[in-house]
Structure 1
Amino acid sequence: MASFFKTDDGKWRAQVSIGGRRKSKRGFATKREATAWAYELEREAKESLSSDIPDRPFRDALERYRDTVSIKKRGQKFEIRRIDRWLGNGQDSADPLCFIGLSDLQSKHFAEWRDRRLQEVAVGTVLREWTVLSSICNTCAKEWGWLKANPMTNVKRPKEPESRTRRLLPGEFEQLMVATQYDIDIPPESKSERIGAAIVFAIETAMRAGEICGITWEDVNLERRTVHLPKTKNGNPRTVPLSTTAVKVLQQLQTLEDCQRKAFNLKSDSLDVNFRKIRNKCLIDDLHFHDLRREALTRLAKKVDVLNLAKISGHTDLRILQKVYYAPDMGDIALMLD
């Protein structure tokens, strides 16, 4: 039986009794982390002498993975949200996968899950969820001994959707600037103006929404015209060069009191939601904030070679850069041939 105590420094200590001996550990930032540690010790004690698949439902695998693996990931918020949805910790009921015993789990169950989800959400969403489920099954098989093998390896993965090619159409940038009331010569004090500044900055730098929102002044060097990104989507830090326009955006933000720590003082969720509202207000169809990254890279491709373009964007696979993000106008390419 495990016990948990909050220490004087605000952290948590866990204590668990195994085989008549007590084990204790302190310094956990949250009770969930302390619970996960105690749960792991108890599980190992119960199953260390057994090579058989435990008599547990798949729900237990989802919970254990969420509490011991997901919490260590940079994208933990989104992964935990997905797992909680499968567990029924929200408005939706638990997925049927939760109630299947680990010893009974077969490829057909994941094929049924795939077909179910394809009726409910887009293929891209199913593929992202597929990655999480497959990782859970791999961990069960390779590390925990809860499965003999990953049953998803025998299930046909949905076909990747066609890559987006959406770029700004003539007049759309001007519409967005009017809607946000952003003027690059004036400090953007309102949230709407701040969204406008982020739009311009994204087009000038090819940075993602989360990267833009995470910029701190410590990472900005206006003399060298660079911004350093210590944490990126693929885990590799990179330094992004800044155009004259991008520098001007930052210089205006630097004068604002509420932007003294984070340059834009925006959260990525808020940026995305407000961008969609502004887009809809302009009656612009099917434009995502992330499409501005494609717009930026296509423009930058006219100025730098492909290797420098990959350095700016952070792509390690040039095929993805070419297939997904670089969308040139063949009419423009034709003019370059003369």
Structure 2
Amino acid sequence: MATFQKRGKKWRAQVYVEGVRESGTFDTKAQAAAWAVEREAQLSGKKLPDKNMADAFERYRDEVSKGKGGEKWERTRLDAMAKMPIAKRPMATLAPTDIADWRDLRLKSVTPATVLREMNLLRSVIEVSRRDWGWIKSNPLKDVRKPKAPPSRKRRVSDDEIDRLSTALGLHDGLSAATAKQRTGLAFLFALETACRAGEIVGLTWKHVHLKDCYIHLPKTKNGEARDVPLSTRAVEILSVLPRDTATVFDLHPPTRDSLFRKARQAAGLGDLHFHDSRAEAIWRLSKKLDVLELARVIGHKDLKSLLLYYNTSASDLAKRLG
């Protein structure tokens, strides 16, 4: 039952339904009463608010995406989703067929991997709308078939390819940081030593570099958690040639790093090499030195199963360790 209290010239209404208490202030008692009736119906599940998917995309973008490691991607994707036909669908009547139609339409223009990422985001938006906002009674996405996930990319990077790319990036005479091209090369070599992502490397600042103790601190990562990354002797050498009077360690803007890497890749005849391949190669190498729990902590993985690929030691080799 709602309660009303006059405070000066305003009326305050308060409702309490199934452990949830809410209140609002209005100019008249009639407005307060109308709000109370509407809100009680919403909280009790008798009536859902008049919201559509566009409202959910906007609120999720402004309240939930903020501060995440992947905030930029999420905000861009949510803004794009808000322009799709599904955005006009009322949340109260959203059905699995609506999601399936959206999925099939997206598969005509983007890859299954992209649709999978978008479906995961869509699932989160609807779940927050259900659990926290009371805009929908159930999540229809649980009854929608996902497109088949493509095989994960685990490209190895050979020593010859590293040498060719280093030469194309101006590092043929050793480590140097005089130009943006050379610093791009240093960033790639650093990634091979640490398994850091491109964004983590480009965003690294000197206050988070601890050369004496051989580690760097990453305060903001893709999974939203901070982590410390140990540095090999080679990684320390790379950092040691970089000037200390720059805002960021590698003094590179992401678009600049991306452009210079792509040009060097083509010049080296390595058209299928991605900067991110350095992370997979680094994980392969680190897996020979660290156990799976240590590796997960270094690279920021929460799912240990995803790392088992890097530990495909044969039964024969394991038997030799047993003695």
- Please confirm whether the aligned pair reaches a TM-score higher than 0.5, indicating the same fold: yes
Does 1:177 find its partner at 2:166?
yes
Unaligned runs of 5+ in 1: 1-16, 22-43, 88-93
Letter in 2 for 1:71: K
Cα deviation, residue 301, structure 1: 2.4
Q: Distance in 2 between matches of 1:193 and 1:268?
A: 15
Q: Distance in 2 between matches of 1:84 and 1:45?
A: 33
Counterpart position of 1:215: 204
**1:1-338 → structure 2 map (5 Å cutoff):** 18-20=25-27, 48-51=39-42, 52-87=47-82, 94-169=83-158, 171-182=160-171, 185-254=174-243, 257=245, 259=246, 261-323=247-309, 326=310
Q: Distance in 1 between matches of 2:172 and 2:238?
A: 10
Q: Distance in 1 between matches of 2:128 and 2:101?
A: 21
Does the 8 Å contact 2:69/2:223 carry over to 1? no
Does the 8 Å contact 2:292/2:307 carry over to 1? no
Q: Distance in 1 between matches of 2:57 and 2:128?
A: 11
Q: Distance in 1 between matches of 2:68 and 2:302?
A: 20
Q: Distance in 2 between matches of 1:296 and 1:73?
A: 25
Does the 8 Å contact 1:184/1:248 carry over to 2? no
Does the 8 Å contact 2:161/2:270 carry over to 1? yes
Q: Distance in 2 between matches of 1:278 and 1:329?
A: 35
Q: Distance in 1 between matches of 2:200 and 2:37?
A: 44
- Where 2:229 maps in the other structure, the secondary structure is strand
Root mean square deviation of aligned Cα: 2.8
What is the percentage of aligned positions where both structures have the same residue?
A: 42
TM superposition score normalised by structure 1: 0.76
Q: Distance in 2 between matches of 1:313 and 1:157?
A: 28
Does the 8 Å contact 1:123/1:158 carry over to 2? yes
Q: Distance in 2 between matches of 1:102 and 1:228?
A: 42
Cα deviation, residue 19, structure 1: 0.9
Letter in 2 for 1:60: D
Unaligned runs of 5+ in 2: 1-23, 29-34
Change (3 A) 1:184 1:50: farther
Q: Which segment is superposed worse, 129-138 or 268-277?
A: 268-277
Letter in 1 for 2:101: E
TM superposition score normalised by structure 2: 0.79
Q: Distance in 1 between matches of 2:210 and 2:308?
A: 30
Cα deviation, residue 163, structure 1: 1.4
Letter in 1 for 2:54: R
Does the 8 Å contact 1:184/1:249 carry over to 2? no
Return the index of the structure with the highest Cα Rg.
2
Change (3 A) 1:212 1:142: same
Change (3 A) 1:196 1:310: same
